[in-house]
Amino acid sequence: MAERRFRTRTAAVLGTLALGGGLATAFVPSARAAQTFSAVNGTASGAAVHVLAGSNAFPNFRTGAIDNRYPLAQARVDSSPSAEGTASVLDTGPLGQTAVATFNTQAPPGAPQLSQPQYAVADFPPGSDKPVTVGNPGGPYAAATAVRNKATAEAQLASAPPGSAPSATSLSKLDTALTAWRAQFLTAADSRRFPAVHADASVSDGADGMSGVGTATFDDAAGQLVVSADTRVAKASFGGGAIALFGIHGAVQIVNDGTPKESVTSEVANATVGGVPVTIGPAGVSVNGTQVPGIGQAVQQASAGLNSALAQGGYQIFVTTPEVKKADHQETISAAVVHVIFQQPAGPAGVPQQFVDYKLGEAFADSLATPGEPPGSGATVSGASETSGEVGPTSEFIPGTPGSPGVPAVPGASGGALASSPARTAASPRALGNVRRVVSQKPLWLLLFYFMWQAALIGTAASLWWWRMGERGERA
């Protein structure tokens, strides 16, 4: 009798476990298939130094006659599908592009066309893993690759061309102001610890040890669009060498699976003004009180005086918060680690005033990944009708894409691309059959649920049968 009761209870327990296990397994989410997208468009661009320069003699140039990047590295992919990598050690900006286009347009028939050989441009299609290069590693060097769903660009430059040559008057004013500031705020010990660095007219504003990298990758298996840009400057010098910045690093990345997720890096390892260590913030420079102990409680006053001294020479230094714009399934980031602006002090009437804006460690990224059926998948398309056999256009305008290979684009420039397959005007019966098959397919989780549900029913039925048989045996 005891043995029968044990078997009955065991059967009931096993049946309950089978039912609970089957239901639990049925409701555990199965592995999700990778996200699919109806439109994909990603651009990443990095420039170690972005120079905007001009004068009030050219009011037609909104950002200056010079709008160049040294070096430039830009990568782009979209779902058309196409990919493009563009790298240059000496970007000539809109002015250079306009000059080349004008020359080629006005050249007589049969004349050779002017080109800019300092650009390395790779396109998909046709695409190749072998990079298109300009120069050699270790010197001025640019390389770009483009294959399906992936583009890369990298560029290196030891020293950038001079962006400006401040007048002797500007440098004299700067040096006089910095000398007076040191006499007011530095103790004798700090003055010895940090010798004065005077403005030297023979030292042009510029940068050394520059590099830029841009990558854009669409992983359709993982359902992710990843765009990233990384820029670095070893040293930048301004004001005849009186202003020095070291170890500048700017980077942005956007990982987009339909919901963009960004990361931004902005670093300046060290900076000095007139030989004195400083930090850089949105309001300008600040004396680094931890390294200049004699400043004591006068840090704020000393910092205000130092910014005033820079302004007397026509210089302003500050950092800005990255500009982030978000929309449905899209994000755009424009960032620069530090700005150095030179505005030539006013001179005699009629003499043009020079201005230069250096953006150091500039990085740009734009990412759009719209969830939906990919172009040409055969699934139901917006505007499709099985009764009429008509399929509406699937092309979509995607903002923020670069220009043509011959005219490299810049972050923020207007432009666009068709980020899907060409429009189709009619669907064949075979195509409509493919649509019906796709729509009628059952998801994997539903199939698994069905099998688990059947297992639970069988286990429950077996448990009840064993329990009933045990009860009959006890009565007998």
More confident residue, 18 or 247: 247
338 within a domain of the structure (yes/no)? yes
108 within a domain of the structure (yes/no)? no
Residue 275 CA to residue 382 CA, distance in Å, equals: 64
pLDDT value of residue 299: 94
More confident residue, 8 or 383: 8
408 within a domain of the structure (yes/no)? yes
pLDDT value of residue 226: 97
Residues 138 and 267 occupy one common structural domain: yes
Residues 21 and 154 occupy one common structural domain: no
* Per-residue pLDDT at 433 exceeds 50: no
pLDDT value of residue 380: 40
**pLDDT tens, 5-43?**
555 555 555 555 555 555 454 445 444 566 789 999 999
Residues 317 and 385 occupy one common structural domain: no
pLDDT value of residue 355: 77
216 within a domain of the structure (yes/no)? yes
Nearest partner of 238 among 199, 209, 285, judged by Cα: 199
How sure is the predictor about 206, in pLDDT bands with cuts at 50, 70 and 90? confident
The residue-averaged pLDDT of 116-124 equals 87
Residues 120 and 269 occupy one common structural domain: yes
The residue-averaged pLDDT of 245-268 equals 96
Residues 14 and 56 occupy one common structural domain: no
More confident residue, 400 or 32: 32
Instruction: Tell me which of 246-250, 329-333, 400-404 is least confident.
Output: 400-404
Q: Report the alpha-carbon angle 64-50-274, nearest 5.
A: 100
**pLDDT tens, 350-381?**
555 677 899 999 999 999 999 988 776 554 43
How sure is the predictor about 129, in pLDDT bands with cuts at 50, 70 and 90? confident
More confident residue, 403 or 77: 77
* Per-residue pLDDT at 476 exceeds 80: no
Structure tokens belonging to residue 433:
């059959």
* Per-residue pLDDT at 250 exceeds 50: yes
More confident residue, 109 or 267: 267
**pLDDT tens, 271-322?**
999 999 999 999 999 999 999 999 988 999 999 999 999 999 999 999 999 9
Residues 380 and 451 occupy one common structural domain: no
104 within a domain of the structure (yes/no)? no
How sure is the predictor about 437, in pLDDT bands with cuts at 50, 70 and 90? very low
Question: What total number of domains does the chain contain?
Answer: 3
Structure tokens belonging to residue 467:
């329990």
pLDDT value of residue 367: 97
Residues 10 and 67 occupy one common structural domain: no
User: What does 222-252 look like in DSSP terms, one character per residue?
Assistant: TTEEEEEEEEEEEEEEETTTTEEEEEEEEEE
Residues 146 and 201 occupy one common structural domain: yes
461 within a domain of the structure (yes/no)? yes
The residue-averaged pLDDT of 418-430 equals 31
With H, G, I as helix, E, B as strand and everything else as coil, classify residue 255: strand
More confident residue, 89 or 439: 89
- Identity (one letter) of the amino acid at 76? R
CB-facing half-sphere around the CA of 435: CA atoms within 13 A: 18
99 within a domain of the structure (yes/no)? no
Structure tokens belonging to residue 271:
């900076």
Burial of residue 56 (CB within 10 Å: 0-12, 13-18, 19+) is exposed
pLDDT value of residue 457: 58
Domain holding 456, by residue range, is: 2-30+442-475
Residue 375 CA to residue 430 CA, distance in Å, equals: 17
- Note whether 15 and 460 are within 8 A (CB): yes
Residues 360 and 413 occupy one common structural domain: yes
Residues 434 and 324 occupy one common structural domain: no
Residues 22 and 157 occupy one common structural domain: no
Q: What percent of the chain has pLDDT over 90?
A: 47
**pLDDT tens, 164-203?**
667 888 899 999 999 999 999 999 999 999 999 999 988 8
Structure tokens belonging to residue 262:
């960004």
pLDDT value of residue 319: 95
96 within a domain of the structure (yes/no)? no
Residues 198 and 242 occupy one common structural domain: yes
Query: What is the separation, in whole angstroms, between the first and last Cα of the chain?
Result: 10
3-state helix, strand, coil in the chain (%, to 5): 25, 40, 35
pLDDT value of residue 242: 96
